[in-house]
Structure 1
Amino acid sequence: MNIKYTVVAMAILFFNFNLQAQKQFKAFLFTKTAGWHHESINEGVTAIKKLAQRNNFDVVWEENAARCFTDEFLKDFDVIIFLNTTEDILNDEQQEVFKKFIQSGKGFVGVHSASDTEYDWPWYNSLVGKMFHIHPAQQTAVLEVQDTNFPGMEVFPPRFMWTDEWYEFKKEEYSKNLQVLLTVDETTYKPYAKWGEKEGKGMGYHPIAWYQYFDGGRSFYTALGHIPAIYENSWFLQHLYGGIYWAATGNGIKK
């Protein structure tokens, strides 16, 4: 009789352990660079690992595209996060694997210089939505919330000050499906920049974070995230987790 009760108790404990160990979703964090290497990558990795602990999801961090961008490696992941990636980081075969991943109904999150990545790949340009052109010196500006019906946006007031590196994006329209979350008020900072023959004078209407449903999957992008200390800011972390959560699960938007 005691053996029977012991077996039952062990089964219950095993069942409860499995419930506790089960994670919400699994994220692949990719930080490969082939150009500028942001100092904030280490802080970003640390922050996302802490978000995973706090919000009960798995995260795997890698920089080796050859090892990671295969169907076998990615099959158990729900979302791919490009954290401050730059320039040409995937070959043709790896691009096809990434494309199939999104088309299978899964998600993408791009942070800051993810828009400074894979310029020669039209599909990726459309996935991100806008591509980096130039930026002025880091400075304080006022951000404005355009959409509160998205996870993570609930922490922001309608207008607030923020210090970052303000990306001006190319004029090309890569996607018509972008749902803008945040814009930067260009009257509150100096947007002019000139790098040789490349010049930026501001965009007028200046989106800085957005999301979209794309090619069967989901895509979230935020241009915030240049300065290392930003990855300790609770508002930014909620904004980032909201994007990861939605891209991985499709949840959080009130219909």
Structure 2
Amino acid sequence: MLRRLVAALAGLAVVLVAALYAAPASAAPVTRVLVFSKTAGFRHSSIPNGIAAIQQLGSQNGFTVTATEDANQFTTANLAQYQVVVFLSTTGDVLNATQQTAFQSYIASGKGYVGIHAAADTEYDWAWYGGLVGAYFSSHPAIQQANVLRQETGHPLTSFLPATWTRTDEWYSYRTNPEPNVRVLLKLDESSYSGGTMGGNHPITWCQNYGGGRAFYTGLGHTEASYTEANFTRLLLGGIQWAGGATTADCTPRSAPPVSGTAIRAGANNLFVTAGSGNLIANASAASTTAQRFDVVDLGGGNVALKSRANGMYVCAENAGANPLIANRAAVGGWETFARVNNPDGTVSFRAQANGRYVVAENAGAAALIANRTAIGAWEKFTLTTS
């Protein structure tokens, strides 16, 4: 009797422990994944490598992988069998209207999307998809090494990565910054490579809850070698498992701290001046990123230099003032020196030492800033603010 009682208690203990550690019903494991790699534009040679890597992740982690380039697979009935659909370097217009509706309904049912690299170079005319992927591709420089910066120490999708992850890839810039709408997990350090266009705030991997489902995107994955990198494939696995509802992670947008520095608003169009790797232009309705922030460095004698917080470079009246202003100089010389003129109406104007001419928001602000005016008018006036 005593032995039976002990055995019964031991069995009860096992049941209780199992109940404590069992995954909840809402966190069922991922069992089926669809990898979609149709291209209607540029085709990446790494697509077969990506398919093989995801298939290997599946065999190691208990899910089957179906790879297809057939958009006819996007029906409500067929998609229902998958927890996650991966867009692997898709390009261009890959789904028709009926297929788009089926995929949108699939996400609305609580399922998941994972976008890899050129998934952001896809379906430019489908606004819903643009929201799902988070941001559309804009440009990229040549393949090169860069530093990827982890944004949180303990986030489940990136906690295994080093704080600074140095690797080689093709580094995408995007048409818009997705940060207000997504949880940014990784950013690029644009000072670690050449050719970036997003300045000091360059997201490259993010996640979000969207349209009733979950979406994970990474801009990494252009090269064939990416798919043999342990850190990269682990990142993909985490994205797949989270998008499929098997794991939990906070993918709500993070409240960003206030951006410091001085913002320059053009009187020509009441928009803020943006810097980065291109010419300065008054085109931003808000000064919410470092791309619209400068350090106004007092050089004495009424002269100043403007140092962009986007890339840490000084604004130059390039080609002795004959070319538009650009933040591309590491030190201050004659072409980086401007006389600050305090106007009676509280605005300021800048006269380039390079040619003695005033900086103008050319074409009522529609064109790049250039030092080519001999007198101060409305287009040569700017307002400085630190708020």
Residue by residue over 1:117-148, the C-alpha shift from the partner in whole angstroms, topping out at 9 and shown as x without a partner, is 00000000000111100001111111110134
In the alignment, is residue 216 of structure 1 matched against residue 220 of structure 2? no
Match of 1:101 in 2: 106
The equivalent position to 2:185 in structure 1, one of 181, 186, 194, is 181
Residue by residue over 1:95-136, the C-alpha shift from the partner in whole angstroms, topping out at 9 and shown as x without a partner, is 000000000001000000000000000000000111100001
Query: Is the contact made by 1:52 and 1:59 (CA closer than 8 Å) also made in structure 2?
Result: yes
Match of 1:196 in 2: none
SS in 2 for 1:119: coil
Query: Is the contact made by 1:151 and 1:239 (CA closer than 8 Å) also made in structure 2?
Result: no
The equivalent position to 1:251 in structure 2, one of 236, 247, 260, is 247
Query: Is the contact made by 2:152 and 2:159 (CA closer than 8 Å) also made in structure 1?
Result: no
In the alignment, is residue 233 of structure 1 matched against residue 238 of structure 2? no
The equivalent position to 1:154 in structure 2, one of 159, 177, 181, is 159
Q: Tell me the distance in 1 between the aligned counterparts of 2:153 and 2:110.
A: 24
Deviation at 1:165, TM superposition (A): 0.5
Query: Is the contact made by 1:126 and 1:175 (CA closer than 8 Å) also made in structure 2?
Result: no
Where in structure 2 are there 5+ consecutive unaligned residues? 1-27, 252-387
TM-score, normalized by length of structure 1?
0.83
The code of the aligned residue for 1:108 comes to Y
Structure 1 outlier segments of 4+, above 3 Å: 148-152, 173-176
Query: Is the contact made by 2:87 and 2:114 (CA closer than 8 Å) also made in structure 1?
Result: yes
Residue by residue over 1:199-248, the C-alpha shift from the partner in whole angstroms, topping out at 9 and shown as x without a partner, is xx333300000000001100000000000011000000100100000001
Q: Tell me the distance in 2 between the aligned counterparts of 1:202 and 1:174.
A: 11
The code of the aligned residue for 2:124 comes to Y
In the alignment, is residue 48 of structure 1 matched against residue 54 of structure 2? yes
Deviation at 1:58, TM superposition (A): 1.5
Q: Tell me the distance in 2 between the aligned counterparts of 1:175 and 1:90.
A: 27
Q: Which has the larger radius of gyration?
A: 2
Match of 1:7 in 2: none
Aligned residue pairs total: 224
Deviation at 1:252, TM superposition (A): 3.4
Match of 1:170 in 2: 175
Q: Tell me the distance in 2 between the aligned counterparts of 1:203 and 1:178.
A: 19
SS in 2 for 1:51: helix
In the alignment, is residue 38 of structure 1 matched against residue 44 of structure 2? yes
The code of the aligned residue for 1:159 comes to T
Query: Is the contact made by 1:23 and 1:58 (CA closer than 8 Å) also made in structure 2?
Result: no
Q: Tell me the distance in 1 between the aligned counterparts of 2:190 and 2:178.
A: 22
Query: Is the contact made by 1:151 and 1:246 (CA closer than 8 Å) also made in structure 2?
Result: no
Question: What aligned pairs does 1:128-143 form with structure 2 within 5 A after superposition?
Answer: 128-143=133-148
Residue by residue over 1:174-208, the C-alpha shift from the partner in whole angstroms, topping out at 9 and shown as x without a partner, is 6842000000100111025xxxxxxxx33330000
Q: Tell me the distance in 1 between the aligned counterparts of 2:77 and 2:118.
A: 27
Q: Tell me the distance in 1 between the aligned counterparts of 2:85 and 2:113.
A: 5
TM-score, normalized by length of structure 2?
0.56
The code of the aligned residue for 1:180 comes to V
Q: Tell me the distance in 1 between the aligned counterparts of 2:154 and 2:220.
A: 19
Aligned identity (percent) is 43
The code of the aligned residue for 1:190 comes to S
Query: Is the contact made by 2:35 and 2:87 (CA closer than 8 Å) also made in structure 1?
Result: yes
Pair 203,131 (structure 1): closer, same or farther in 2 beyond 3 Å:
farther
SS in 1 for 2:81: coil
Query: Is the contact made by 2:110 and 2:213 (CA closer than 8 Å) also made in structure 1?
Result: yes
The code of the aligned residue for 2:185 comes to L
Match of 1:202 in 2: 198
Q: Tell me the distance in 1 between the aligned counterparts of 2:199 and 2:212.
A: 30
Where in structure 1 are there 5+ consecutive unaligned residues? 1-21, 193-200
Match of 1:10 in 2: none
RMSD value over aligned CA atoms? 1.8
Match of 1:60 in 2: 66
The code of the aligned residue for 2:208 comes to Q
Q: Tell me the distance in 2 between the aligned counterparts of 1:100 and 1:248.
A: 15
